[in-house]
Amino acid sequence: MTAPRGESIPGALTRLGFDEPRRALSLLDDPVLERVIQRRDAIEDDGLARALAETADPDQALLGLVRLMESVCRGPAPALRTRVERVLVEGGVGRRRILEVLGASLALADHLVAHPEHVLDLVSAEPLPVESRGELLTAAALTAPEGATAGEDALRVEYRRQLLGIAALDLEAEHPTDQLPRTAAALADLAQGALAAAHALAVHRAGERAQRCRLAVIAMGKTGGRELNYISDVDVIFAVEPADGVPEEEALAIGADLATSLMRICSANTGAGTLWQVDPALRPEGKQGPLVRTVASHRAYYERWAKTWEFQALLKARPVAGDPEVGAAYVEAMSPFVWTAAGRENFVSDAQAMRRRVEDHVPAAEADRQIKLGKGGLRDVEFSVQLLQLVHGRADDNLRSATTIPALEALSRGGYVGREDAAALATAYRFLRTLEHRIQLQRMRRTHLMPTAPADLRRLGRALGHRTDPATEILARWRSTAREVRRLHERIFYRPLLAAVAKLSEGEVRLTPEAAQARLTALGFRDPKGAFNHLRALSEGVSRRAAIQRQLLPAMLGWFADEADPDAGLLAFRRVSDELGTTHWYLKMLRDEGRAAERLAHTLGRSRFAAELLEQAPDCVQFLGDGSGLRPRTREEVESRMRAAAGRQGSLDQAVQAARTIRRAELFRLAVADLEGSLTTTDVGHALSDLAGGLIQVALEQVVRAHVAEQGRDLVTRLLVVGMGRLGGREAGYASDADVLFVHDPVPGADDQQAQDDALDVVRELLRVLGLPGPDPRLEIDADLRPEGKNGPLVRSLASYAAYYERWSLVWEAQALVRARPVAGDPELADRFLALIDPIRWPREGLTAAQVREIRTLKARMESERLPRGADRKTHFKLGHGGLSDVEWCAQLVQLRHAHAHPELRTTSTVEALTAARALGLVAATDAEELLEAWTMTSRLRNAGMLWRGRSLESLPSDVRDAEGVARVLRRPPGSGHLLDEEYRRLTRHARTAYERVFFEQ
Amino acid sequence: MDRQQEFVLRTIEERDIRFVRLWFTDVLGTLKSVAVAPAELEGAFAEGIGFDGSVIEGFARVYEADMLAKPDPSTFQILPWRGDRPGTARMFCDITLPDGAPSMADPRNVLQRMLGRAADLGFTFYVHPEIEFFLLEKEPKPGRTPTPVDQAGYFDHVPHGTGHDFRRAAITMLESMGISVEFSHHEGAPGQNEIDLRYADALTMADNIMTFRTVVKEVALEQDLYATFMPKPFADHPGSGMHTHVSLFEGDRNAFHEPGAPYQLSKVGRQFIAGILHHGAEITAVTNQWVNSYKRLWGGGEAPAHLTWGHNNRSAMVRVPMYKPNKGNSTRVEVRTIDPACNPYLAFAVLLGAGLKGIEEGYELPPETEDDVWGLTEVERKAMGIKALPSSLHRAIQAMESSELMADVLGEHTFEFFLRNKRREWDDYRAQVTPFELDRYLRL
């Protein structure tokens, strides 16, 4: 073939794949290639150029070839030049190997330039058994001429000579990912041989003394697993036994010297460079521990002290050099430990940490380029496989392989993971490892990062067979593989559980109930048997529901396991599902609507409050599917829905129950949104207060309507419900009562007594219907803040309030009125009531000294008297030091004194009042901040406690599990529950001193 | 660590130890001990020994009262005074909650937390205390004035002196427990002795001081004497202090040392002192934790009562001792307020906390005070900007209450408990009618 007419030679070279054609052309013209190039007239069609074009990096390969040939020509043996040139001219395997290696590795090219004679070894490379590798390396090291590092140098040169062969076989493979296991094993063998040679050299140098101890080198990590990279630390452990008649102490000392010498022989940087670091850090006690131990001492350590990850490391232990008997004794002594790890005490929490490590992923440095540690990286695959091996390997010794791919195959054969999933994971693993190999090969550097330079990406893409746009294609393929790994993790870990309980042979998975329970325990379920039964109930059978749930549950199990109480989450899900399973939209929503299932799982595992609401009203689940479903509804929306629902009912009781059903649904909506973190404390307070107000309004309308119907006449009075306390402030919590005052005002001309009777009837009836057992958590109505308290009439007319306040008003009543806000009833009456109380709560002259003193005394008395028996004065949310009432009383005192002069202070909200007081300079900025911070934190904790427990929480939890649950509701990281205590005490201590300054003006 | 545990188990076997005392310290610095049989020890290492925390001062409910004592094998020592065989040994414990989280109430944990923070900044904290105490004839009956064993003075050699024998026996015993003694001599007051321990890292030293107090009391009892670390047992004689030399090291390098600087004191050293002076009033409730401590501080003589520093000024709170040429690593700072009845874990933690704060915030060191502070008039002190230390436990509590630093160093729980306990002590003290009052006022 010739170049198309008009195409220049550089153009042709570009088409072949050269990046810098002019440079390539001048290199091809180099005199050293003179006898190699056959077609000088059409250089681009020469066999050499075409062969170069096949390599991963033609430019690099060509430059390397010119350097190599310069070295060959310079060399002392003219025969070598002739032989090399013949290989290059003849083409075929030999030429391909040379060019592939030069194109894929600068480091190996450098080695060839330094040792041109090795090019022939490269050409004739073939797989070598591990023994031969060791013998060749040992011979090189031991026969080196005398000299300080001559042995090391010879070892390094021989090591690289063999490395060339491994690289040649690797690079010429048609499917590099298929070749990967063989390459990784060959690299491990080479490392093993080097360790053996280093051991022999160390023994040789130690002379007679070395005979007094028997040292075995145990390979760990990837060397032990026989799946090494091109360049990596080689993990080892040393075991030592004394030779006959030698005291143990002495043998240990000699063994430590030998081991140190061995490590130095491998890692020292000599004239010929270095092999790799030998890392003994996986030994018992890590870096603190002695370098060598006897087998018995190793055993004693693992019997007593070792941690789960250390057992995980032992999985790969394999004797590779030194005394074979000691090595065998070591393995025999250790292997039982690996497989009892799953029975150890901390195994569950360690395993969870491992799982979380895989799923949450601690972002490593340069996470977006990490092939090994990034999301969906090699470490994920390895950990998933090892975790499953540890969990199930105790009962099944077929799983005990030290090598990732065979282990995965064994898990698949044993039915612990699906066959297709295992195959897909193995493919992904091989691809990622091949990427890693190709990247490391270039410079023989220990790196696990995707390169960024376009030339590097291009070489990488071409090495893996991408030709059109190699850089882009390889990045895309890498990313999609990482995604696949993440997805597969879930499939291999959770899906088999379902197959086990449902007794289905899904992809040949056959987990026994025992194996399934072992895995559930490792996930953090405290009652694996119960969980197993729930799973079975959810997934057994041939119904559409069971089929869909089998699809959903694997992922949901992972989400449950993230929460503080996975068992409760799963149980609640079962209840909801029993209730709704046959409803057509339920399963469809979970299956089809993205986040719905995930939201449901997290909600149920995190909040008993939400779970209980849902169990009573499973249909609330609908909100989860709808993106806008979690927006809290406005007061108007809630009220109109309640009104509509109530209007459709026959009786009063039914009507109010219907309104309360709406409230239950809204509570669930709020809880879910709150748990997701999409609401502020203020949002929650507003929504809960509006919900209470709406219910009271609709219930009041219904009661009045029923009253009218029953009496056959209109009411002779108009009614108003005024919210007080947190309801008045629009700052209600999940567990708040509704503090209210009832007000009525007779219509013109009505009889006062009859009006009072009507009002009382309606209010009593209102309290009755709201107090009935109902679908929602009962809204407790508390009217004790009314004039004269419990002794006063439940409802008063506006005129009566006016008369009362004129004559009797006490300062605490004025204070309570600070937070009065009409929440239901007649709007016009509301205005008149506010006109009546405004001068009382915002008195023109502020407070007198005597009134201030009275409020302070009252507060002090309340603090000492109202605290429940056994409650801790420091940690009680409402009455404790720096708690809610400290902050609220500060705000109210400032409002009583200054709101008349400063309209900004005329608010029922504690937060708004303090913010305004701060802006006005009435409260120092730092004091206001500390008060608000403590108030917000306490309100959040109280809400979180209710969400977590389903019962109100009055003070800081004294139970560690409760603390953990509350912390998780606040979306703190797992295991941070015990930190709440310290934080709460600090915030409230600050608030308490601020309170002392603000409230007592000290 | 695990090798240590093995070592402990082996030693127990070899030395025929029948009881192991697990030691820990309550918030006020009282030594607590629980004895376990060697067979229990392996379990204690793995899981800890459970006990009811609510009965220990300051350990009361953070969460459940159940707590675990986990022995620290690096502190294993055979107790010499319990006879040779079968022997008794002791280890200090870390206190944890049932879920393994360290207890916020454990003073050892408070110090460890501070040391961890120092380590984050690259520092190790070394201390070297000079511990003074009185030797008395027998344990005094309640209400009786105690009698010192001799009438000697500073550095006096007392022929056939009881104190001499005593010090020799005590030092022998301390050395046999691996606690190195640097120096010992008779102190200024009758019956008063001083023993200086060789410097060590602060955690080891706090453990050593707990051991030291026990050893000194044990040896005294063996010799039919009574030893007291009460700060001021005699109104007419100087009290007992625990002058504490402290230094920070960055690796092998003394971070306080800078050749050529005034007193060879580096910037870090100056900021550390500035931190201690700046927060001196806040930390006093911990370094001088008893009502009686303030009678020593305000009793004149060598006791410091003002927030000052100086080179050769024995009335200063902080003294920079003379520099020995070519011994850069010996540059250190001597804090003279602390008394030997403190809780050493907490005292070292607050010293370190104040000093580190000085470094972190870059405090300026105020000028050195060269005069004897006691010799100055009130007005002179005012003019020179010299502030006083708290004059009583009450004042010290007030200074501590508003200290963020103290809450941060001690942790909220210990901070709160300590203050509550000390307020109660002050209230109890204030309720006393003393001989002084009876003497003066009965005739009114």
β A213-219/A234-242 pair status: antiparallel
pLDDT at A586: 78
Decide if pLDDT at A3 tops 50.
no
pLDDT band at A763 (very low <50, low <70, confident <90, very high): very high
Taking CA atoms, what residue in A is nearest to B412?
A: A982
Least confident of A181-195, A591-605, B150-164: B150-164
Write phi, then psi, for A674 (nearest 5 degrees): -65, -45
Task: Give the A window 294-333 contacts with B, CB below 8 Å.
Answer: 300-301, 304-305
Instruction: Report the residue of chain A nearest B407, measured CA to CA.
Output: A986
CB within 8 Å: B2 and A285: yes
- By Cβ distance, the residue of A874, A960, A993 closest to B416 is A874
Other beta carbons within 10 Å of A245: 6
pLDDT above 90: residue A838: yes
Q: Which of A528, A524, A607, A608 is nearest to A566 (CA)?
A: A524
So what's the pLDDT on residue A1? 41
Contact A958 B61 (CB under 8 A): yes
pLDDT greater than 70 at residue A344: no
* pLDDT of A946: 95
In sequence order, the 6+-apart residues with CB closer than 8 A to the CB of B15 are B78, B85, B87, B89
- pLDDT (mean) for B172-186: 87
User: Which chain B residue lies closest to A957 (C-alpha atoms)?
Assistant: B63
For residue B128, pLDDT beyond 70: yes
pLDDT at A2: 46
What confidence score (pLDDT) does residue A358 get? 55
- Which pLDDT score is estimated for A598? 83
pLDDT tens sequence across A300-343: 888 877 677 777 788 889 999 999 999 999 999 988 887 776 66
Alpha carbon distance A730, A505 (integer Å): 56
To the nearest whole Å, the CA of A605 is away from the closest chain B CA by 21
Least confident range of A302-306, A437-441, B282-286, B309-313: A302-306
Q: Please, how many CA atoms are within 13 Å of residue A51, restricted to the half-sphere of its CB?
A: 26
Band the pLDDT of A594: cuts 50, 70, 90: low
Residue B62 at interface with chain A, using a CB cutoff of 8 Å = yes
Is the pLDDT at B63 greater than 60, yes or no?
Answer: no
Percent of chain B with pLDDT over 70: 93
Question: Rounded mean pLDDT of A970-978?
Answer: 83
Which amino acid, B293? S
Q: Is the confidence at residue A490, as pLDDT, over 80?
A: no
Q: Using the beta-carbon criterion (under 8 Å), do A985 and B46 form an inter-chain contact? A: no
Of A622 and A952, the structure prediction assigns the larger pLDDT to A952
Is residue A85 within 8 A of residue A36, CB to CB? The reply is yes
B412 in contact with chain A, both atoms CB, cutoff 8 A: yes
Q: What is the mean pLDDT of residues A190-204?
A: 94
A1001 burial via Cβ count (<10 Å: 0-12, 13-18, 19+): exposed
Residue A76: the pLDDT is 77
pLDDT in tens, A769-813: 999 988 888 899 999 888 888 888 999 999 999 999 888 778 888
Residue B159 has pLDDT above 70, yes or no: no
Region B386-397: mean pLDDT is 94
pLDDT of residue B357: 96
Asked if residue B86 has a cis previous peptide bond (ω within 30° of 0), the answer is yes
Residues of chain A contacting B3 with CB distance shorter than 8 Å = 285, 288-290
* Predicted local distance difference test score (pLDDT) of residue A267: 92
Beta bridge partners, B34, equal B22
Q: Measured between beta carbons, which residues in chain A are less than 8 angstroms from residue B42?
A: 304
pLDDT at residue B283, rounded to an integer: 96
Q: Which two tokens stand for residue A883?
A: 């708690």
pLDDT of A495-541, one tens digit each? 777 666 655 554 555 678 888 888 888 777 888 899 888 888 888 77
Of the pLDDT bands very low, low, confident and very high (cuts 50, 70, 90), residue A686 is very high
CB atoms within 10 A of CB A413: 14
Whole-angstrom CA distances from A20 to A47, A60, A145 are 19, 10, 45
pLDDT at B1 over 50: no
Asked if A652 and A769 count as a contact pair (C-beta separation under 8 A), the reply is yes
Cβ of B62 within 8 Å of Cβ of A981? The answer is yes
Lowest mean pLDDT among A262-276, A809-823, A839-853, B180-194: B180-194
Asked if residue B158 has pLDDT above 80, the reply is no
Q: Pick from A961, A982, A993 the residue to mutate for testing the B interface (most B CBs within 10 Å).
A: A982
> B411 touching A, CB under 8 A?
yes
How large is the average pLDDT for residues B310-333? 80
B1 touches A: beta carbon within 8 Å: yes
What is the arithmetic mean of pLDDT over A217-225? 93
Q: Which run of H or of E encompasses B225? A: strand B225-228
- Whether B98 contacts chain A with CB within 8 A: yes
Q: Which of A288, A300, A986 sits opposite B412 (nearest CB)?
A: A986
User: What's the pLDDT score for residue A442?
Assistant: 92
Predicted confidence at residue A354, as pLDDT, reads: 64
DSSP B310-339: ESS-TTSSEE-PPPPTT-GGG--EEE----
Binary contact (A986, B3; C-beta < 8 A): no
pLDDT at A616 over 90: no
* Packing angle of the helix pair B344-361, B202-222 (nearest 10 deg): 150
List, in order, residues 6 or more apart from A591 with CB less than 8 Å away.
A548, A551, A552, A597
B412·A993 Cβ contact <8 A: no
End-to-end CA, chain B: 68
- Does B235 lie at the interface with A, CB-CB under 8 angstroms? no
Average pLDDT over residues A466-483: 89
The segment with the largest mean pLDDT, out of A63-67, A503-507, A554-558, A774-778, is A63-67
Kindly indicate the confidence band of residue B376, based on its pLDDT and cuts at 50, 70 and 90: confident
Is the pLDDT score of A629 beyond 80? no
Q: Which chain A residues touch B98 with a CB distance below 8 Å?
A: 960
Residue predicted with more confidence, A847 or B53? A847
Measured in angstroms, the CA of B242 and the nearest CA of chain A are apart by: 32
As a whole number of angstroms, the distance between CA B300 and CA A436 comes to 75
Tell me, rounded to whole angstroms, the distance of Cα B2 from its chain centroid. Answer: 30
- Each residue of B236-280: pLDDT tens digit? 899 999 999 999 999 888 999 988 888 889 999 999 999 999 999
Instruction: Say if residue A581's pLDDT is above 80.
Output: no
pLDDT-derived band at A43 (thresholds 50, 70, 90) equals confident
pLDDT digits (tens, 9 = 90+) for A424-459: 999 999 999 999 999 999 998 888 888 988 889 999
CA B352 vs. chain centroid, Å, equals 13
Q: Average pLDDT of B105-133?
A: 94
- CB environment A129-157: b (16+ within 10 A), e (fewer): ebeebbebbbebbeebeeeebbbbbbbbb
B63 to chain A, closest Cα gap in Å = 5
Least confident of A518-527, A600-609, A901-910, B177-186: A518-527
Task: Judge whether residue A846 has pLDDT over 80.
Answer: yes
Residue A906 sits at φ, ψ, to 5 deg, of: -80, 75
